[in-house]
Amino acid sequence: MKQILIFLLIGLLTTTLMPAKDKFKNLQVLDFETEKELKAYMKGMANNLGVKCVFCHDMNDKSIDTKHKKIARGMIKMTANLNEEVFSWAEETKVTCWTCHRGEKEPQITQP
């Protein structure tokens, strides 16, 4: 009994202390220390587009790449490139999903 408890405790400790990038199966661009940070980023991204997690994810396994998730990964890279290369002069982050999306899945391409 005591051994089982010790095993359980070790299991619990390793999953809570494990870095997020080891815990998640399919992070190709994002790099977060903790699960909490990743979840906060995901919530922000969903809000910026006015969607729920299910718009990009297979809710049974979020590591699966869906059509929208792949597009979103490209958008994350594009946004990072804009901030690093075009806005390299800026101290703080200038471009986010919100900059174009403004709470919509599909930003307006031309002036209405």
The residue ranges that bind ligand HEC (CB under 6 A) are 24-30, 39, 42-43, 45-46, 49, 51, 53, 55-57, 62-63, 68-69, 71-73, 75-76, 79, 95, 97, 99-101, 105-107, 109
d(CA 58, CA 64): 7
Q: How far is the CB of 23 from ligand HEC (least distance, A)?
A: 7
Q: How far is the CB of 89 from ligand HEC (least distance, A)?
A: 18
Closest CA to 52 of 40, 43, 61: 43
Compare residues 76 and 87 and give the one whose CB is closer to ligand HEC: 76
Q: How far is the CB of 81 from ligand HEC (least distance, A)?
A: 10
**DSSP per position, 22-62:** HHSS--SS---SSHHHHHHHHHHHHHHHT--GGGT--TT-T
Tell me what percent of the chain is helix, strand and coil, each rounded to the nearest 5: 55, 0, 45
Compare residues 7 and 41 and give the one whose CB is closer to ligand HEC: 41
